[in-house]
Amino acid sequence: MKAWLILVFSILLLPTIGSAQITSTFGVDSRSELPSGYIKALIWNIHAGEDVNFRSDYHQLAKDSHLLLMQEVDLNSSLQSTLEDTELYFTHAKSYISPLSGNKKGVATASVSKPSTTRALRSSVVEFGATTPKAVLVQLYKLSDRKDSLLVVNVHAINFVTNEMFYQHIDQIIKAIKFHKGPALVAGDFNTWNKSRLRYLDNQMNKQNIERVKFNGGRSSFPNIGRWFGVEIGGEFDQVYTRGIKVRFKEIHSSITSSDHKPIEIHFSIL
């Protein structure tokens, strides 16, 4: 009971917490800029890195990547050690600290170069029952041979709420990224498990000239499981949106079972 009281009290304080207190960094950078001609990115909800074969799958998938956008990163010493096996610079944004395990739960973005700016957001709405927020990382990365920067937004959207509350979180994200007019990669676990959510997300992104990358097959191992109170449940939780980018390769690694979400890999260049 004491642990849950601590959690609820910490959530009440969330609006007063700044980005510097939300984020932590670790790892090493090997470049000063991202290569504008070719970038390999991996987008993956890693399910806390607790599933069988995660370590080996992570090493294989992260190999030669320039960008990693990961959700459900429950940061502890063991997971951090695994992540640091790849020579990348990590920024972790915590949504909250588990009162039971002490793990920092949130999202992590990694790159071969350090971001020039970082902003972390916690959702203004919280999950039903658990009363926990979701975290989003908004970062700019310098590009080789270019004056503009790449906006990289790592999203774990709110889930167990009404559609209207989900829309509020999307609006919060859009407000945070409107400042940037250049190339953008906005990706992650959007929890778009019904058509209304995906339609709203598409519309809001399109207003910023940010378009969804279309894939064949689902982004999650959760199947379409029918309708619940008239709402279709299941489908594509994970999404990738781009602007000013040419996608040259895209793949959903459907054979990976070390998370309940399938890793998404894209290769792209800056237009």
Looking at residue 98, its pLDDT comes to 82
268 close to 245: Cβ distance less than 8 angstroms: yes
C-alpha–C-alpha distance, residues 155 and 254, integer Å: 21
Q: Name the 3-class secondary structure at 76.
A: coil
Looking at residue 9, its pLDDT comes to 40
Structural domains present in the chain: 2-270 (3.60.10.10)
- Token look-up 């190339």 returns 183
42 close to 240: Cβ distance less than 8 angstroms: no
C-alpha–C-alpha distance, residues 5 and 22, integer Å: 20
pLDDT tens, residue by residue, 79-91: 999 999 999 999 9
Give every CB contact of residue 81 below 8 A, 6+ residues apart in sequence: none
- Burial class from Cβ neighbours inside 10 Å (0-12, 13-18, 19+) for residue 111 reads buried
C-alpha–C-alpha distance, residues 34 and 233, integer Å: 38
Tokens coding 19: 């980005």
pLDDT tens, residue by residue, 95-110: 988 877 788 999 999 9
pLDDT tens, residue by residue, 122-140: 999 999 988 899 999 999 9
Q: What mean pLDDT value characterizes the chain?
A: 89
Q: Phi and psi dihedrals of 170, rounded to 5?
A: -60, -45
- pLDDT higher at 37 or 5: 37
